[in-house]
Structure 1
Amino acid sequence: MTDDTTTPAAGAPNHDPKARQSRSGLTSTGVRKASAKSNRSRAREFAVQALYQHLVGGNDAAAIDAFTRDLAGFHKADAAHYDALLHGCIESAAQLDVLILPLLDREMERISPIEHAVMWIGVYEFQHCLDVPWRVVLNECIELAKEFGGTDGHKYVNAVLNSLAPQLRAAEVEADRASGKARP
């Protein structure tokens, strides 16, 4: 016969039902835990760091690529997606900025290089990664900005990319709006 009112043994975890439990897959700040991330999410993380090196240091894409591929954990990333993001964003930087600039409330030079890189990734994926739903692109970029950017940088990224989505993914956004899934 067992007694459900026994106290835990010394060193056993406290299973107090009133104790705050964290949401599965998230850190205390609301960012996804590394174990909960997909290979593509990891590729985006490495890409935003690589694009930061390009934006801040003006480093060559090939040198950044070689450096990044040697970082711990890169083997868990989707290398092809990382490659497409890094090289695609750098090669089409001027065209990406042409789409982003009209939506900014300040000069590009006053935008954090992290938020700039994240917006590049979002616009690039809207245009070239049609297998990724627009809402996934938006959410992934918000998560990147939360993890690597400033305190409210994710809100800025959200506003810019959410404004571009109807232009760059018109049919998909309209279909979501018609079904009630799209954000206003």
Structure 2
Amino acid sequence: MSDFNHPSAPARPPRQSRTGVTSTGARKAGSKSNRSRAREFALQGLYQSLVGRNPVDDVDAFTRDLAGFNKADAAHFDALLHGCNEQAEQLDALITPLLDRPFAEISPIEHAVMWIGVYEMQHCLDVPWRVVINECIELAKEFGGTDGHKYVNAVLNGLAPQLRAAEVEADRAKKPR
């Protein structure tokens, strides 16, 4: 029988709080919706396309075999992966005016997250614009660089009034001045 109170016994790690977020502020896997999971898998696929220049159909097949894909919204994953790949030039054209540096200096993760955000704002009108931005911030926090989420937030907030004008204006009208 092992004695955990014995001085030579290894110390137990501190208990993790069960708030639904990790120590970095990202959501824990158990608290993610099927659409959030779809965005994560789409991000991984878009990264493979951007960095590895892998064909989207190969990326799609590979991603569907990853552990946990069965918990993702497959239709939303399809829309994001294929839609962003097909509309890459148009998405970049919308994003570029808000950048303070060339795309070559933007992390491929942040680039792909911005694609997802712009695509969703244009084509997934059932997702409120604030949710789109929040989901993209979460993706950037979890997978991107230290302050990449701030950059993504700034760019998507800059595009929201253009891509979701009526929705953004309605939200602004609700706020007390």
**The two structures share one fold, judged by TM-score above 0.5:** yes
Structure 2 residue matching 1:85: 3-state secondary structure = helix
Identity %: 79
CA RMSD, 1 decimal: 1.6
Amino acid aligned to 2:148: G
C-alpha separation in 2, matches of 1:36 and 1:64: 26
Give the alignment's TM-score, normalised by structure 1.
Answer: 0.86
Amino acid aligned to 2:149: H
C-alpha separation in 2, matches of 1:54 and 1:177: 37
1:83 partnered with 2:78 = yes
Structure 2 residue matching 1:59: 3-state secondary structure = coil
Structure 1 residue matching 2:51: 3-state secondary structure = helix
Q: Which has the larger radius of gyration?
A: 1
From 155, 171, 174, the counterpart of 1:176 = 171
Amino acid aligned to 2:98: L
**What does 1:4-153 correspond to in 2, within 5 Å?**
22=17, 24-153=19-148
Structure 1 residues 69 and 175: CA distance shift in structure 2, 3 A: same
Alignment gaps of 5+ in structure 1 = 1-9, 12-18
* Greater displacement, 24-33 / 141-150: 24-33
Alignment gaps of 5+ in structure 2 = 5-13
Q: Is the Cα–Cα contact under 8 Å of residues 114 and 145 in structure 1 kept in the other structure?
A: yes
From 142, 150, 153, the counterpart of 1:155 = 150
Shift of 1:20: 8.9
Structure 1 residues 21 and 57: CA distance shift in structure 2, 3 A: closer
Shift of 1:29: 1.3
C-alpha separation in 2, matches of 1:56 and 1:20: 38
Q: How many residues align?
A: 165
Shift of 1:22: 3.2
Runs of 4+ more than 6 Å apart: none
